[in-house]
Amino acid sequence: MNTKKILNDINLSAKPYIIYKTSKGFDLFTDFSKKIILSNNNVNNFLKTIYLNKKKIKQTDLYIGFFGYELLNYLIGVKFPKQKTNSFPKGIFYKPETLISLSENLSFKASSTEKKSKQFKININRKNYTKIFNKFKKKIKKGETYQIKICTKYKNESKIDPLEFFCRLSKSNLAPEAFLIKDKNYSVISCSPETLIEKKGRSIITKPIAGTLKKNASLNKSKALQYFRKNIKETKEHNMIVDMERSDLSRICVPGTVKIKKEKTVEEYKDLFHYVSLIEGKLNEKVKTIDIVKSMMPGGSVIGCPKISTLNLLNEQEKENRNIYTGSFGYIKFNGDMKFNIIIRSILNFKNISEISVASGVVIDSNANHEFNENFIKAKALIDLFK
C-alpha cells in the first residue's frame, strides 16, 4: 500500500483522521461514525457505558481520543479556580470505521509551502518562573509536596499543515507514543515518549519517565546513564515518581503483583536523554475502565507527588488552562484493553493559535535556572518545526 498516496488522499479529502505510532509503523483511523465531546457532565457515563465484548472484536471496535488535564482532575475530585481559557474541549473521543496500517517512513509535502507563523512568546519569563519556583520550594520544605512540576507555555499565531509537521517530526524526533489528530477546527501533533497505561487482558504496565539530560557531541546512552545514577536530584525525582506510580497501580491490582520490570534505563531522543522505568501488575478482576482511568490519571511523572495535594497547589498557582497538556491520548477497545500516553511534547493548534506546553520538576535540590532551561530544551524540537 502506497503510504504517500494514502496521506495525500486523506489530506485532500478534508475528513477528520488520527495517526498513531505502533511498534511496526503507524495506524491511520478515519471515517468516524461517532464523535463524543466530553465534559464534566458526561465523562463518567462515557467511561461506564463503553460496550465490553469479551468475544473476538474487529480492529475498529474501539474509541480513540484524549482526556484533557482539567477533565482528569474532575474525575478524581480536584477542583479548579478560575483560569484563562480558549474554550477548547475538555476531551474528545472518536469511533473509527476505517483503519489503515502505514509504513514507518511517513512522507508528505503540502501542496502549498506557504506557512504563516509569528514568533513564539512564553507565558512565564525567567524572572516570574523563579518567583514561582521559590514559592514551591517553600511548600516542599513545609512538607506540602515533595516534587512539583511548573508548566510554561510557548504560543504563537500560526497557520500550519499538521500532516506535514507530523511527517517531519516523525523523521527528526520519532517517539513511541507519537500521534496526530486532524479535525476540522483543530489539530494536535505530538512526539510524546511516555506510556501511562497499556492494558491487555488483566495485565497492565506503566512506564514513568523522570530525568532529562540535554544531548551533546560527547554524550552517549552509557554516559547519560552514569550521569543519572550519580545525580542525586535526578535520582530522588525518579524514585519518587516510580513509588507513586507503583502506588497508583497497587490500588487496582492484585496484592503482590505490582513489580518493577525494568529499573532506571536510558532512552535517547533527538535533543535529549530520558531516565525511564517500567512497572507491571495484574489487575483485580472487579476493576472497571473508569477505575483504571481514575487511579492512573493524570500521570504522576508530569504532576509531582503526592498527587492530590500537588495538583491542588498547581491549579491554585497556574492562571492559564493546560488544555491537552498532561492529559492522556489513546484508545479503549470494546474488549476492555486500552493504551494511553501522557500528552507532552505536543502542539495544539486551535483558532490559528499554536501552543506548546512543557514542565520541569522542582524538588528540594532543584535549581531554578536549570529547570527553566530544561523546559526550553523539551520545547525546542517542536518550535523548530515552525522555522
Q: What confidence tens digit (pLDDT) does each residue in 188-242 have?
A: 999 998 899 999 999 999 999 888 888 888 899 999 999 999 988 888 888 888 9
**How many residues make up the chain in this entry?**
387
Which grid cell sits at 94? 472518536
- Predicted local distance difference test score (pLDDT) of residue 1: 64
Average of per-residue pLDDT across 308-313:
92
Helix 162-172 vs helix 3-13: crossing angle, to nearest 10: 150
The C-alpha cell 547519560 sits at 224
Q: Which CATH architecture has domain 3-386?
A: 4-Layer Sandwich (3.60)
Would you give the DSSP letter of residue 120? P
pLDDT above 80 for 109: no
**pLDDT of 334-377, one tens digit each?**
999 999 999 999 999 999 999 999 988 788 888 999 899 988 88
The C-alpha cell 535556572 sits at 369
- Predicted local distance difference test score (pLDDT) of residue 360: 82
**pLDDT of 24-42, one tens digit each?**
899 999 999 999 999 999 9
Q: Percent of the chain beyond pLDDT 70?
A: 97
User: How far apart are alpha carbons 309 and 312 in whole angstroms?
Assistant: 5
pLDDT above 70 for 114: no
User: How far apart are alpha carbons 80 and 57 in whole angstroms?
Assistant: 39
Which grid cell sits at 88? 477548547
Stated pTM of the model: 0.92
Q: What is the mean pLDDT of the chain?
A: 91
Residue 166 · residue 106 · CB < 8 Å? yes
